[in-house]
Amino acid sequence: MAGKIFAIGGMYDPEAGQRLFGRFVSLTGKDRPVVAYLGTASGDRYSGIEAFLWLSYRAGAVPLVVPLFQRTPDLREVFGDVDAVFVGGGNTYSMLAVWRAYGLDRILRDLYERGIPLGGVSAGAICWFEYALTDSWANRLEVIEGLGFVEGGAVPHYSLEKDRRPYTHRYILEGRMPFAYAIEDGVGVLFVDGKPSEVYAAVNGGKAYVVRKKDKVVEEKALKM
């Protein structure tokens, strides 16, 4: 089965967010898919759960919220019969630490290899890559190791937040990321078996880029497909 990752740069616009989530749900190929939600990056904050429930209702999905900051369920059992997994935004570094402590990284890898669509927004978009540019620390943007399902790095909020582009260029020049997919808010990129397959722009002019070093300078190219 083909592994599918749908990485969304940001969902600041509610209508764009609804379209992006709808596209993600459609990857299941089912009329009433069970979509699991992980709000770990925000500490299972209720506002994130509430937004997910609303999006699921609008998309015709059956929501399954999986909390990790209450008494944690048997995760292999919980994820044994889901059709997709969607991950919310927040602190990427803390989220990955919690997932690894519970062995959820291995469970998600199994789902990916079974062809279950995985995706999310912001932290939930960049966690799937080898490297992620995150603002998990209050005073800086930093590169961390992600789950490694997709080669290269990932950057959300690429045009909305002014520091994202210069830090991306800096870390690529320093060799801390070999290259990166930089995704604007209102845009989702579908990766199939680790390769970009579709750019879904839910806002006018929304783009995603491949950023890499070439001849000692940074080259930025818009993804077109």
Whether 122 is catalytic is: yes
CA–CA separation, 2 and 218 (whole Å): 31
Task: Single out the catalytic residue among 42, 56, 136, 157.
Answer: 157
Closest C-alpha to 86, from 48, 113, 58, 114: 48
Residues 149-178: b if buried by 16+ CB within 10 A, e if exposed: bbebbbbbbbbeeeebbebbbebbeeeebe
Q: At how many degrees (to 10) do helices 92-102 and 104-113 cross? A: 90
Is 157 among the catalytic positions?
Answer: yes
Nearest-angstrom CA–CA distance, 104 and 107 = 5
3-state SS assignment for residue 148: coil
Of the listed 42, 56, 122, 136, which one is catalytic?
A: 122
Would you name the residues annotated as active-site residues? 122, 157
